[in-house]
Amino acid sequence: MKIVSVLLSLGVVGVVSTAAIAASAQEQPAQVKKAVADFPFFIGVTGGAGYATLQHPEIAKQIAGTGGVAVGFGAATLGLHAGYTFNDHLSAGLEFGAMETGISRNNAGETFKLGYAPQAWCNNCHPPLSGSDLLATTIVFSTFGARVEYTPLGRDGLFVGASAGFATIIGYSERQGAGFAGRLGYRFRPTNIMTVSLEAGMQGQVYGDASLYMPYGAAVLRPYF
């Protein structure tokens, strides 16, 4: 009888302890994602590719051709941006982006063409003289300006965005103008402090006598802090 009483007592104690633990667990609040206000600042890196259409008075479809006509080229795009998240729908910041292509010609005075022209083979060539004419180079198209994004369905998911600012051509026949872009994409958040986005859009640069337009696609990695 004593053994039975002891077993019954232990059973009652076990049931009471289990009930107490369960009640305590129910009282603890469930963990939720932290609010946007906890990590409002961000830095983003963008990488992608597109196909650009360029009109430039000194770049032609072929060497010694007529400049100013539309020529096309594929290019990789790189960008860096930083900004602030105001609420679950709106964020804004600053963005720098760039792409490049090569141009070449056979002789001074000719218009350039996209890409690098093959050079004549020579068995006894001399190094180029100081001050010689430029026959091949790389030109860089860059933009720097404001970037705004709006997510209509909440914190993440589908978003639309736009950017506008200054544009420059560097490397040959340098120019300054205006740059702009529009984009549509989808952003998901694997953790509170990191998002990954896929976007597609159109970039443009306008100068006094030149212009560039490029549809593109890109991926964006954005940590928050």
| 26 is a domain residue | no
- Whether the model pTM is above 0.85: no
Q: Which of 160, 192, 161, 188 is nearest to 36 (CA)?
A: 192
> Per mean pLDDT, which of 33-42, 97-106, 115-124 is the most reliable?
97-106
Q: List the structure tokens of 203.
A: 């970039």
Cα dist from 27 to 9, 134, 162, 196, whole Å: 27, 76, 46, 35
Share of the chain above pLDDT 90, in %: 62
In this structure, is residue 19 part of a structural domain?
A: no
What CATH number is given to the structural domain containing 172?
A: 2.40.160.20
What is the structure's pLDDT at 117?
Answer: 54
How big is the chain by its Cα radius of gyration, in Å?
Answer: 30
Query: Do 133 and 104 form a contact (C-beta atoms < 8 A)?
Result: no
**DSSP code, position 108:** T
Residue 187, domain member (yes or no): yes
Strand, coil or helix: 24: helix
Q: Give a yes or no: residue 111 inside a domain.
A: yes
Tell which residue, 69, 60, 52, has the closest CA to residue 104.
60
Q: ∠140-102-44 over CA atoms, to 5°?
A: 40
Which residues are CB-contacts of 217 (< 8 A; sequence separation ≥ 6)?
Answer: 48, 49, 50, 198, 199, 200
Instruction: Quick: pLDDT tens for 167-214.
Output: 999 998 899 999 999 999 999 999 999 999 999 999 999 999 999 999
Contact 157, 195 (CB under 8 A): no
24 pLDDT higher than 70: no
Residue 6 has pLDDT above 70, yes or no: no
Is the pLDDT reported for residue 86 higher than 90? Answer: yes
What is the Cα–Cα distance from 71 to 62, expressed in whole angstroms? 9
CA contacts within 13 A on the Cβ side of 180: 6
Residue 12 falls inside a structural domain:
no
> Which token pair is 53?
């259409």
CA distances 119 to 104, 110, 136, 198, Å, are 10, 15, 10, 41
The answer as to whether 146 is a domain residue is: yes
Lowest mean pLDDT across 3-7, 109-113, 134-138, 217-221:
3-7
Q: What is the pLDDT of residues 130-180, one digit of tens each?
A: 556 788 899 999 999 999 999 999 999 999 999 999 999 999 889 999 999
Q: Could you list the residue range(s) of the whole structural domain that residue 173 is in?
A: 34-119+133-223
Which pLDDT band holds residue 111 (cuts at 50, 70, 90)?
A: confident
Higher pLDDT pick, 108 / 92: 92
A 10 A CB-CB count for 212 gives 22
CB 214 within 8 A of CB 52: yes
For residue 197, count other CB atoms closer than 10 A to its CB. 21
How many alpha carbons lie under 13 Å from residue 145 in its C-beta half-sphere?
A: 21
User: Rounded to the nearest 5°, which phi and psi values hold at 153?
Assistant: -100, 5
Number of domains in the chain: 1
Tokens standing for residue 166: 């200054």
